[in-house]
């Protein structure tokens, strides 16, 4: 099993190209189920989750082709992949596939919209919380679907097709908003989604669906209106930059000091997190085609944060920010409001010398003057990269085990950091 070894203490200086967003790519790929034409996605990142979803979509009959790289085109530019669901050969998403990737449950929306039936395994829990599917089910029921739970499967049917309706989510859900957008695009009549998620990835999916012929207004706000159409066509769409990768590397620079330009991204994607970094002492500057991140020798200031749905501070950056606060000149409090079990990285950070105490959903981080390298174990995707950030500043050698979590969401992380001066390598086997 691969490991990442880091010898800490080096500043980061240089340029890092930001990849296409994983959290946008996955629903865009699933949207290919809505049409028998070809959906072409540009800037698709090289990630384990993307490869797994390709296999899952293949189970439903989706063919794919990857365009070859042009001369001098770097891998950092992402891939162009063509998805064609000419015929849906199977409307069942089995447990053995859904259990490997929670987002694969989202196929229930397009399958129900296009084929009027779907049988999808319940995804179960995961390391950072249970994340129930009630909101998905209630939303689809509002569009006229009949849904039963049978032997661990959600069995959905919409005889005659889905019908538009007004539905208000009782709580904000990014995944359920994705599913409702896709399902309502082929429903009869108008659908109004209230208390919708506002993340940039929602607006990106809506832009792609509109390019396919959907009629969606308001994506990116809390109220989205969809006029259903009879069919969708193919389209070509470029995946937006990964704001979580952007924030992660910005926090790495804030942790180590240095001067790094993050290319192919923008400040507008994560203003809340970048404002928090400014308060912590980092310099954040919008530059052409990117963001310049710097930190001088004045140290890291403690900042209290609370995770919140967009445009608030992202839960997907909570672990990384906690790593940064372990070296703050004072005490910071981090409150997690999205997932009930997203503090498992605390014990691993403590192995490096961090002082963190937990009380319910609040972590109190007392900054220390030094961290010391040690072997640590990744528990999930974001927790794993928080250990990398801590290791970049720790004295001596840090080994991060179980880095397959990293490969799910970070493209060529050790290569990108190494090019900026980090002493970091992947050890296979």
Q: Which residues are catalytic?
A: 126
Q: Are strands 12-17 and 258-263 parallel, antiparallel or unpaired?
A: parallel
Q: Which residues of 121-140 are buried (b: 16+ CB within 10 A; e: fewer)?
A: bbbeeeebeebebebbbebb
Alpha-carbon distance of 276 to 163, in angstroms, equals 43
Contacts (Cβ under 8 Å, ≥6 apart) of 38: 82, 83, 84, 234
- Token digits for 198? 């506002």
| Cα–Cα distance, 251 to 324 (Å, whole number) | 7
CA distance 134 to 313: 25
What CA–CA distance (Å, rounded) separates 131 from 92? 21
* Residue 411 Cα to chain centre, angstroms: 13
Contact in structure between 138 and 92 (CB atoms under 8 Å):
no
Could you tell me if 127 and 348 are in contact, meaning their C-beta atoms sit under 8 angstroms apart? no
* Strand duo 38-44 + 235-238: pairing: parallel
SS3 118: strand
Q: State phi, psi for 290 to the nearest 5 degrees.
A: 165, -160
Q: What angle do CA 255, 301, 242 make, to 5 degrees?
A: 45
Phi and psi based region of residue 375 (left: phi greater than 0; alpha: psi -120 to 50; beta: remaining): beta
Tokens of 368: 């220390």
How many of the other CB atoms lie within 10 Å of CB of 70? Answer: 8
């Amino acid at each position: 099993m691969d490991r990442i070894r880091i010898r800490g203490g080096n500043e980061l200086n240089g340029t890092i190209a930001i990849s296409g967003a994983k959290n946008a790519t996955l629903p865009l790929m699933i949207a290919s189920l809505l049409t028998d034409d070809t959906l072409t996605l540009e800037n698709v990142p090289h990630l384990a989750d993307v490869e797994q979803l390709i296999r899952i979509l293949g189970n439903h009959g989706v063919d794919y082709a990857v365009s070859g790289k042009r001369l001098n085109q770097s891998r950092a530019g992402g891939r162009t992949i063509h998805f064609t669901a000419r015929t849906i050969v199977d409307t069942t998403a089995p447990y053995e596939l859904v259990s490997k990737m929670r987002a694969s449950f989202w196929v229930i929306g397009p399958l129900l919209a296009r084929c009027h039936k779907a049988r999808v395994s319940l995804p179960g829990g995961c390391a950072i919380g249970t994340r129930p599917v009630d909101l998905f089910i209630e939303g689809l029921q509002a569009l006229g679907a009949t849904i039963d739970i049978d032997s661990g499967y959600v069995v959905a049917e919409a005889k005659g097709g889905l019908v538009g309706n007004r539905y208000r989510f009782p709580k904000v859900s990014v995944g359920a908003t994705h599913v409702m957008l896709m399902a309502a695009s082929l429903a009869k009549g108008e659908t109004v989604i209230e208390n919708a998620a506002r993340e940039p990835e929602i607006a990106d999916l809506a832009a792609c669906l509109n390019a396919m012929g959907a009629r969606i207004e308001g994506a990116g706000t809390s109220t989205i209106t969809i006029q259903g159409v009879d069919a969708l066509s193919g389209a070509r769409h470029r995946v937006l930059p990964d704001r979580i990768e952007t924030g992660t590397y910005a926090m790495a620079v804030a942790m180590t000091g240095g001067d790094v330009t993050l290319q192919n991204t923008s400040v507008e994607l994560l203003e809340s997190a970048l404002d928090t970094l400014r308060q912590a002492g980092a310099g954040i500057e919008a530059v052409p085609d990117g963001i310049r991140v710097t930190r001088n020798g004045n140290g890291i200031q403690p900042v209290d944060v609370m995770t919140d749905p967009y445009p608030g501070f992202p839960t997907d950056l909570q672990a990384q920010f906690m790593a940064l606060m372990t070296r703050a000149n004072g005490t910071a409090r981090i409150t997690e409001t999205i997932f009930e079990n997203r503090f498992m990285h605390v014990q691993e950070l403590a192995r490096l010398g961090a002082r963190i105490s937990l009380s319910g959903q609040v972590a109190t981080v007392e900054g220390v003057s030094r961290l010391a390298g040690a072997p640590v174990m990744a528990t999930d995707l974001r927790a794993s990269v928080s250990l990398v950030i801590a290791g970049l500043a720790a004295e001596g050698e840090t080994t991060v085990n179980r880095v397959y979590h990293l490969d799910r969401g970070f493209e060529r992380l050790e290569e990108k950091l190494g090019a900026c001066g980090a002493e970091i390598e992947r050890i296979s086997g």
